[in-house]
A and B are shown apart, each in its own frame.
Chain A
Amino acid sequence: MIVVDRLVKTFADAEGKPVHAVDQVSFSAGVGEIVGLLGPNGAGKTTTMRMLATLVAPDGGQAKVAGHDVREAAAEVRRSIGYLSANTGLFGRLTPREVLVYIAELQGCNDAVARAEALLDRFDIRKFAHVACDRLSTGMKQKVNIARAVVHDPPVLIFDEPTSGLDVLVAQDLFTFLEDMRERGRCILYSTHIMGEAERLCDRLVVIHGGRVLATGTLAELRAITGRERLEDVFMFLVRGAAA
C-alpha cells in the first residue's frame, strides 16, 4: 500500500546551504500492517509523512500510496489516505458534527451525514456533537481529529505522533481503534517517540535518523541486529551508532 523508494527532500539553511531533511529514504508498508516510523526530533519523520500526504513535493525518489504516485496523482493519493499530525487542526468555531460532514464532503463522500453520525458514536463524542471544537478538551479534540481523518474510510492511515498530549485513557482508545483498523486490512504508518506504543502496535519498524534510514524490520529482527532486548535500547543503539 505504501512504497517509498529513495525519497529525498532538501531544505536550505539561512545561508542557502542544502540540508537533507529526507535523504534516500526507502521502506514499504502492506495491507493490514502497522509500520512504525521511529526517530529522534528532526530525523525526517514528519517530512516523509508530509510527502506521502502530498503536502510537500519530494525533490527526488519515488513514493506510491495505494498504487498512486505522490507527484503524478496527488488528489488520488489524498483521497486514499487519512492524515493526522500535530499540524492538522480543527475548525474551532464549527461543531464536531459540522467538521466531520464538511471533511467527508470534501473527500467526495455522498453519505457524509451518515458517516459523521456513525463516527460520533464510534468515538463516543455524540454528547459533544453540538459543542464548538474550541470548547472541547484536548482528548476530545483528538478524538474528533481522528474521526475526521478516517471519515472517508481510507485504505491508508498516516498518523504522525497522534498520542502527543493525550492521557492514557484516550491513548488506549486510539490503540484499540488502530488495531481494529489493522484487522480490517488498513495500512497504517505510525510515528511516535514513545517506544511502548511502538512495541504494542507496530508489526514492523523503520528507524530513521538525520534523514536516513538506519534499520528496518520486525522488532525481533531489530533485536537480532543490535543484540538489545528492549526497543528503547535497540533505538538508542542504532541512533548513537549512526551519530558516532
Chain B
Amino acid sequence: MSARGPLGLLARVVAAELRQHLRDPLTLVFMVVVPLFLYPVLGMLGNRLVQTALAEADAEVLAVAVEPAIELPDNLRGVPADDLAEAVRSGKVLAAARVTAAGDGADVWWDSRSPDSLDARGRLGDALKEHRKATQIRRVDAEDTMTEADRLREMAARILPALLLFTLLSGGLYTALDIITGEKERGTLETLLSTAVDRRVVMGGKFVVVLCFTGSTAFFSILSSWASAKWAMGLELPMGTALIALGLFLPMAVLLSAILCVAAAWAQDFKSGQVLTTPLLVMPLAMAAVSLLPGFALTPASAMVPIAGLALATREVLAGRGEPLTVGLAFVATCGWAALTLAAGARMMGREDVVMGTRGSGQRRLRGDYRLDAVGVWAVAFLLMWFLGQTAQSVEVRGGMVFTQLGLLAPLAVIAPWWLGLPIRETLRWRAAPPLEWFRALIVGLCMPAVGLGAHWVQSLLLTTPSTFFAGVFPEDAPLWQLVVCFAVLPGLCEELLFRGAFFGLWRTRASPWMACVVTAIAFGMFHLSIFRFLSTGVLGLVLGVISLRSRSVMPGMLAHTLNNAFFMVAMAYGWDVQPSWLMVLPIALAVAALVVPGTTVRSAEPGL
C-alpha cells in the first residue's frame, strides 16, 4: 500500500517527469537559452533595421503634383501633371493635390498600395496646412487612386511570401524528421548505411525526397492561393505571375530543404529533432516577414539577403511591379545561398559522428575540439552583456562599463578554460611578447582608428547609420582620464582577454590560426550588439587577431585596442570632428605595412594547447 495520497502521487509523477526532461540539455537550451537570445536578436535587428529604413525614407525627396503650385518643403519635389489622379495611378508621382478654385479646400490623390505614397500624402497634407495659414483652405479630401482589387492584390502580395514560406517549411519539416531522424531511431538508416552505397548518396537521396515535398508544397500552395484569390476574393492574379512566384520559390525550397536535412541529421533522436527544427520555423519566418513591414524595398542590397531578399522579390512580382533585374538578382542570390547550404550539408551528412550519432561533448573534447565551447563562451558573454552589462550601463555609464569589463568579461575569460579543465595561461595565450611585437602593436594601434573609420564608411554604403546612433553613448561631460580608463583601457584589457585570449584559444584547438582569427573577428563584431558597428568592430577584431597571431601573445593586442579606443575618447573630449576622408589611406596603409612586416616569430607555428 502506498503511503501517499493521490496528490502526493501526482507530485511524485511531476517530480520524476521534470527530472527526466530537465536532464535533457536540449530541453533546457530551448526553454531558457533560445528565448533569452531570440528577443535580443530580433529586437536588435528588427528595430534597428526598421529605424534605418524609416530614416532613409524620411530623407528621400518624393515626387508630387499640386495644382495650382504651392510652396513645397525640401523633401517634396513638384512635378507638372495634367490628370492628377492618373499621374498617381501610373506612378508618375506619389501623391497629388488640387486646391479648389474658391481656395477653401483641397482634393488629394494617393496610392494606398505604396508606403511611399502614404508618406507623400502625409507630407503633402503638412504642406497644405502650412499653405492654409495664408489661405482659406478648410477641408482636405484624400482619395485613394487604387481600386478594391488593387488593394486586395497588394495585401495578398505582402502576406503570401511569409505564408508560402510557412507552408513550405511545414511540408518539409515532418518529412526530414521522419526519413532522417526517425530512420536513425528505427534503425533503417543503419540498414541503408550497411549497403555498398556511399553514405553521401544515401543522404543525398533523402535530401531530394525532402526537396520533393517542399517543392510540391510550394506548388500546391501557389495553385491554391491563385484559385482562392480568383474564386474567393475575385482577384485576377495572372497565371504567369503565379508561375514566376513558383519559380522564385524553388531555390527557396532547396535552401530550406538543405537546412531541414542538416538539422534532422544532427539530431540524435526524434525528440531532439523536433527541438532543433522548431527555431527553423521561427527564424526564416521572421526573415520573410520583412515583406509585411513598412519601408523595406527590394533593392540590389536587400535582394542578396537570404530568405528576406526572395520574400521581397516575390512580393514585388505578385504585386505586379517587380523589376526583372532585381528580382533576378534575388533569385540568383538565393540559388547561391542554397548551393552553399547544400555543400555544407553534404559535408556534414557525410560525417560518421553525425550520421551514426556517436558525437557528444566528451567525444569532441577527446579530439581536443573546443570550438563549440568557444561558441558557448561567446553566448554567455553576449547574454551577460545584453542583460547585465546594458542594465548596469543604463544606470551609470562609467560604473556600468567598469562592472561589465571587470565583473563580467574578464572573469568569464579566466573561468572558461578552468571550467573546461584546460591550462588557463596557455589557453589565454598570456605570455610575454618580444619588443618588436610591442612596437608593431603601437604602430597599428595608432593607425587603427582610420581602419575602423574606413570599415564604417564601407558599411554605410550598404546600411545607413541613424544620425542619433552614437548620441548619449559616452558621457561627454566626464573627465578625459575617466573616459580613457572606462572606454579604452578596460575594454583593451578585458575584451582582448576574452576574445583574442579565451575565444581564440578554444577555437584554435581544431582550426588553422587564420581561420580562428577570422572567426574570432566575426564573434567580436557580433558581440558589439549593433549591426551598424558590425563591420568596423569586425575589421578591428581581425587586425587585433593578426597582432595576437604574430606575437603569439594576447598582450600586444591589448595595447593596440587601448590606443584605438583612447583616440576616440580624446577626439570626443577635444571636440574633433572625426569623419572618413581620403587622408585615412595613409594610416591604413601604414597599419597594413606594420602587420605584414615579418617579426621575430613569424616563421614559428602558432602553438596549440
| Chain A contact residues, CB within 8 Å of chain B | 10-18, 53, 55-57, 75-76, 78-79, 81, 83, 85-92, 103, 106-108, 148
Contact A148 B191, beta carbon cutoff 8 Å: yes
Contact A55 B194, beta carbon cutoff 8 Å: yes
Q: In the complex, A17→B196 CA distance in Å?
A: 34
Residues of chain B within 8 A of A148, CB atoms compared: 191
Main secondary structure of the interface of A (DSSP, over half): loop
Stretch from B95-103, B362-370, B374-382 at the A interface: B362-370
- Closest chain-A Cβ to B407's Cβ sits at a distance in Å of 29
For residue B352, CB closer than 8 A to chain A, the reply is yes
Residues of chain A within 8 A of B366, CB atoms compared: 10-12, 16-18
Tell me the number of A-to-B contacts counted with CB atoms below 8 Å. Answer: 78
Q: In the complex, A221→B399 CA distance in Å?
A: 80
Contact B362 A15, beta carbon cutoff 8 Å: yes
For residue B90, CB closer than 8 A to chain A, the reply is no
Would you list 20 pairs from A and B whose C-beta atoms are within 8 A, ordered by A residue?
A11-B358, A12-B360, A12-B362, A12-B363, A16-B362, A16-B363, A16-B421, A55-B193, A56-B358, A75-B196, A78-B195, A78-B196, A85-B190, A87-B187, A89-B186, A90-B188, A92-B186, A103-B195, A107-B196, A148-B191
For residue B197, CB closer than 8 A to chain A, the reply is yes
Q: In the complex, A241→B98 CA distance in Å?
A: 104
Residues of chain A within 8 A of B196, CB atoms compared: 75-76, 78-79, 106-108
Q: In the complex, A12→B183 CA distance in Å?
A: 25
For residue B198, CB closer than 8 A to chain A, the reply is yes
The answer to whether A78 and B194 touch (CB under 8 A), given A12-B362, A55-B356, A56-B358, is yes
Q: In the complex, A78→B192 CA distance in Å?
A: 11
Interface residues of B toward A: which range?
Answer: 20 to 34
For residue B361, CB closer than 8 A to chain A, the reply is yes
Partner of A75, one of B198, B356, B421: B198
Contact B362 A14, beta carbon cutoff 8 Å: yes
Partner of B192, one of A16, A57, A106: A106
Partner of B190, one of A14, A18, A89: A89
Q: In the complex, A12→B365 CA distance in Å?
A: 8
Contact A88 B191, beta carbon cutoff 8 Å: yes
> Which residue of chain B lies nearest to A77 when distances are taken between CB atoms in the complex?
B196
Contact B363 A11, beta carbon cutoff 8 Å: yes
Residues of chain A within 8 A of B192, CB atoms compared: 106
Q: In the complex, A107→B186 CA distance in Å?
A: 21
- Closest chain-B Cβ to A76's Cβ sits at a distance in Å of 8
Contact B362 A17, beta carbon cutoff 8 Å: yes
Residues of chain B within 8 A of A106, CB atoms compared: 192, 195-197
Contact A56 B352, beta carbon cutoff 8 Å: yes
Q: In the complex, A84→B195 CA distance in Å?
A: 11
Q: B229-251 CB contact bits vs A (8 Å, 1 = yes)?
A: 00000000000000000000000
Contact B365 A15, beta carbon cutoff 8 Å: yes
Residues of chain A within 8 A of B364, CB atoms compared: 12, 16
- Closest chain-B Cβ to A107's Cβ sits at a distance in Å of 5
Residues of chain A within 8 A of B194, CB atoms compared: 53, 55, 78, 81, 83, 88
Q: In the complex, A91→B366 CA distance in Å?
A: 35
Q: In the complex, A57→B358 CA distance in Å?
A: 11
Sort A-B residue pairs by CB-CB distance and give the 10 closest, nearest first: A16-B365, A89-B187, A12-B362, A12-B366, A79-B196, A83-B194, A106-B195, A88-B191, A89-B186, A87-B187
Q: B176-205 CB contact bits vs A (8 Å, 1 = yes)?
A: 000000010011101111111110000000
Partner of A103, one of B187, B191, B361, B363: B191
The answer to whether A89 and B365 touch (CB under 8 A), given A75-B196, A75-B198, is no
Q: In the complex, A53→B356 CA distance in Å?
A: 13
Residues of chain B within 8 A of A85, CB atoms compared: 190
- Closest chain-A Cβ to B423's Cβ sits at a distance in Å of 15
Q: In the complex, A89→B189 CA distance in Å?
A: 8
Residues of chain A within 8 A of B195, CB atoms compared: 78, 103, 106-107
Q: In the complex, A224→B361 CA distance in Å?
A: 46
Q: In the complex, A91→B182 CA distance in Å?
A: 11
Q: In the complex, A57→B362 CA distance in Å?
A: 18
